[in-house]
Amino acid sequence: MEINLFNDASLAPQPKSKIRIEEFHVSPYADRFRVKVNLKLTPFLERPNLVITARRSDGLQVSDLDVIATMHYENEFTMHIRGVEDPAGAYSLSAELYYETRDPPQDSRRVDFVIPAEDA
């Protein structure tokens, strides 16, 4: 007899070889110096690590976040834009998922976004 503990088979925890970044979204807050990051992973048996980095279009790193052994497959973070007087402009946000090593990461995603000018 098979006992199914998960009503939705897509939520069954997977071995680390199958873990991927499934969704990755960013949206600026109204204050323009913070962004909301939503990152969804494949449900996992072993807890993965994440590195999330925000860069301005000229390559300047303005924020980074290291998550060691995340406990959740659905994550929400607030990242602060640092080192700029006016945050308006184009940015990219990258996420890397890894276990033992980041070279290379097991999975990665990148999303571009714009922080509007203050008058916009």
Angle at alpha carbon of residue 26, lines to 47 and 14, rounded to 5°: 25
- Does residue 12 form part of some domain? no
Q: Provide the pLDDT confidence category of residue 19 given band limits of 50, 70 and 90.
A: very high
> Does residue 93 surpass a pLDDT of 60?
yes
- Does residue 120 form part of some domain? no
Averaged pLDDT score across all residues of the chain = 93
- Does residue 10 form part of some domain? no
Q: What is the CATH number of the domain that holds 48?
A: 2.60.40.2550
24-82 pLDDT tens trace: 999 999 999 999 999 999 999 999 999 999 999 999 999 999 999 999 999 999 999 99
- Does residue 1 form part of some domain? no
- Does residue 74 form part of some domain? yes
Rounded alpha-carbon distances, angstroms, from residue 28 to 53, 70, 104: 15, 23, 29
46-59 pLDDT tens trace: 999 999 999 999 99
10: Cα within 13 Å, side-chain hemisphere = 4
Point out which residues pair with 56 in neighbouring strands: 91
> Does residue 110 surpass a pLDDT of 70?
yes
Of 3 and 9, which is predicted with more confidence?
9
- Does residue 3 form part of some domain? no
- Does residue 48 form part of some domain? yes
Task: Quote the number of domains for the chain.
Answer: 1
- Does residue 9 form part of some domain? no
33: domain range? 19-114
> Does residue 10 surpass a pLDDT of 90?
no
User: What's the pLDDT at 11?
Assistant: 83
d(CA 31, CA 47): 33
**Omega prior to 105 cis, within 30 of 0:** no
